[in-house]
Each structure stands twice: as structure tokens, then as C-alpha cells.
Amino acid sequence: MVCLGNICRSPIAEVIFKKKLLEAGLSWTVRSAGTNRYHKGGPADARAIEVCRGKGMDLSAHIARRLTPADFDQYDVLFSMAADVTEEMQGIVGDESKMSRVRGFMDALYPGQARSVPDPWYGGAQGFVECWELIERASERWIEILRAEG
Ligand code: 4NP
């Protein structure tokens, strides 16, 4: 799960996806990262921690990290939260062919539309609730899609 700062969207996606996988009895490995280094080593945004807490999920132990070229080898699928994130990912991976592992996270709900998960960073708490709910819907759909793909 990849976003810009690894403090809002991708940590929320990581915790939701992990919970959905647990419920589905699947043991896939999920991790998150950001394309920038501004928040590296720090916690998730307090508003992200709060919205997750309200939904019964604990994000308090999250430590932001930056996406590395090695992540493109380690993971079968890299979900980009937004169009600008995908551009940044290209800059990090270097090898263009490895971008084939990248999928737009919103494509599960809106195929072919190249939509982004709106960045809640500049807004208030309501934006985080909407972000959480959108990510939950996409996570459920992605698990169906990935299972069908085998
Ligand atoms: P995120 O939100 O990518 O969902 O973690 C952001 C957090 C920080 C910044 C941008 C987006 N930033 O520019 O510092």
C-alpha cells in the first residue's frame, strides 16, 4: 500500500486490508510505504489513528517508512493510492518494467478511470472518515479480485 507520506492513506489501507484478510482466512503479507521521506520514522497522522480507533483498529504502532526499489521485488502487487503517487513510484523504482506490479487502488471500484483516494491530509476529520470508508470498500473488492485471479 503506497501513498505520499505513509501517515494517512496507506497505513489506513494496510490495517484495513490486514483485518479483511484475517477474516477471510488468508495469510498474505501486507505492508505500507510512502514515496516521500518527510514523515519517515514517525507515527501515523493523529487523525488517521483516531478514525481507525473509532472503527476498532489500532494504528498507534505504525512507523512511517519510504518506499524502496527492493519493495518492487518483494511484493507481487503494489497498490498506488493516487495518480501523483504512481508518478513518484516510477521515480523510485528506476526499472520501468517493474511498474507492471503497480495497480491503482481505486481501480477495484472504478476500473479504467485512474481515480485517486482523495488526500485527507489538508482537510478535517470528516475527510478521514470518508477516506477510511472508501478504502474499506476497495479492500473488500480487491480481495475478491485477487482471489479470482489466483
Ligand atoms: P498520505 O498523506 O500520503 O495519505 O500519507 C500525506 C501526508 C503528508 C504529505 C502529503 C500527503 N506531505 O506532503 O507531507
Mutating to test ligand 1, I would choose from 2, 4, 105, 117 the residue with most ligand atoms within 8 A of its C-beta, which is: 4
Q: Is 123 helix (H, G, I), strand (E, B) or coil?
A: coil
Residue 73 Cα to ligand 1 midpoint, Å, equals 24
Average pLDDT over residues 63-85: 98
Share of the chain above pLDDT 70, in %: 100
d(CA 7, CA 113): 25
**Angle between the 46-54 and 125-149 helix axes, to the nearest 10 degrees?**
70
| Catalytically annotated residue among 45, 71, 107, 119 | 119
> If you average pLDDT over every residue of the chain, what do you get?
97
d(CA 96, CA 75): 16
Model confidence at 150: pLDDT above 90: no
Mutating to test ligand 1, I would choose from 1, 6, 8 the residue with most ligand atoms within 8 A of its C-beta, which is: 8
Residue 9 Cα to ligand 1 midpoint, Å, equals 8
pLDDT for res 138: 98
d(CA 46, CA 52): 10
Q: Render pLDDT for 128-149 as a digit per residue (tens, 0 to 9).
A: 999 999 999 999 999 999 999 9
Phi/psi at 18 (nearest 5 deg)? -60, -40
pLDDT for res 57: 97
- 59: pLDDT confidence band, cut at 50, 70 and 90? very high
Model confidence at 42: pLDDT above 90: yes
Cell of 106: 481505486
H helical segments located in the chain: 9-24, 46-54, 71-74, 83-93, 125-149
- 2 forms beta bridges with 33, 80
Q: Is 119 a catalytic residue?
A: yes
pLDDT for res 129: 97
Q: Is 131 a catalytic residue?
A: no
List all residues whose CB is within 6 A of at least one atom of ligand 1: 3-9, 34, 38, 119, 121
- 120: pLDDT confidence band, cut at 50, 70 and 90? very high
Which residue's alpha carbon is nearest to atom 8 within ligand 1? 5
Surface-to-core class of residue 66, CB atoms within 10 Å of its CB (0-12 exposed, 13-18 middle, 19+ buried):
middle
More confident residue, 123 or 33: 33
pLDDT for res 81: 98
Q: Which residue has the cell 490486514?
A: 18
Model confidence at 34: pLDDT above 90: yes
Other residues' Cβ atoms within 10 Å of the Cβ of residue 102: 17
Mutating to test ligand 1, I would choose from 36, 62, 63 the residue with most ligand atoms within 8 A of its C-beta, which is: 36
Q: Is 95 a catalytic residue?
A: no
